[in-house]
């Protein structure tokens, strides 16, 4: 653990919190994986593969491993099939919810997207309630997994 902390510190580009956050989640795929975990019910490798953007298998493996190393994702054996894994967001991963919501609101305001108007409205007018509901679903799934 100490060794990992030290090597993470070495890899950092600066002490800036934005830079540090982007060292973990600042690439074109990582936050899509977090999105699938948070909003789309993805838990298995193939769930991410079929999430829509066509992520390559090797990229997906790499991003899941990095998310696990960063403490954003937990990996456990699938109780139904020990050759497979179940991926879940940690509390640290769930705390990325506001970042994802702000990305949705920005894109919905400035780009043409498929975001359902009702969801965007819920995010914009009561962001905290929206995120609390997502978090309640996450807690329930974690309890069930134990």
Helix (H) or strand (E) holding 102: helix 97-110
Binding mask 74-113 for a second copy (x = CB under 8 A): ------------------x--xx-xxx-xxxxxxxxxxxx
DSSP lists the bridge partners of residue 75 as 87
128 binding a second copy? (CB under 8 A): no
Name the phi and psi angles at 56, rounded to 5. Answer: -75, 150
| Cα→Cα distances 52→33, 60, 87, Å | 11, 13, 18
* CA separation for the pair 142, 123 (Å, rounded): 24
CB of 123 to a second copy, least distance (A): 10
Sites for a second copy among residues 1-40 (CB under 8 A): 9, 13-24, 26-29, 31-32, 35
Residues that bind a second copy (CB under 8 A): 9, 13-24, 26-29, 31-32, 35, 52-54, 71, 92, 95-96, 98-100, 102-115, 120
């Amino acid at each position: 653990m100490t060794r990992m902390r030290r090597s993470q510190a070495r890899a950092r580009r600066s002490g800036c919190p934005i830079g540090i956050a982007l060292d973990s989640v600042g690439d074109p795929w990582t936050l899509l994986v977090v999105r699938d975990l948070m909003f789309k019910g993805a838990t298995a490798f193939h769930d991410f593969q079929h999430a829509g953007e066509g992520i390559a298998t090797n990229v997906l493996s790499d991003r899941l491993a990095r998310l696990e190393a960063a403490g954003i994702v937990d990996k456990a054996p699938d109780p139904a099939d020990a050759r497979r894994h179940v991926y879940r967001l940690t509390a640290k991963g769930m705390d990325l919810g506001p970042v994802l919501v702000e990305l949705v609101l920005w894109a919905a305001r400035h780009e043409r997207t498929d975001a359902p108007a009702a969801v965007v409205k819920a995010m914009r007018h009561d962001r905290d309630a929206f995120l609390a509901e997502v978090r309640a679903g996450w807690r329930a799934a974690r309890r069930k997994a134990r």
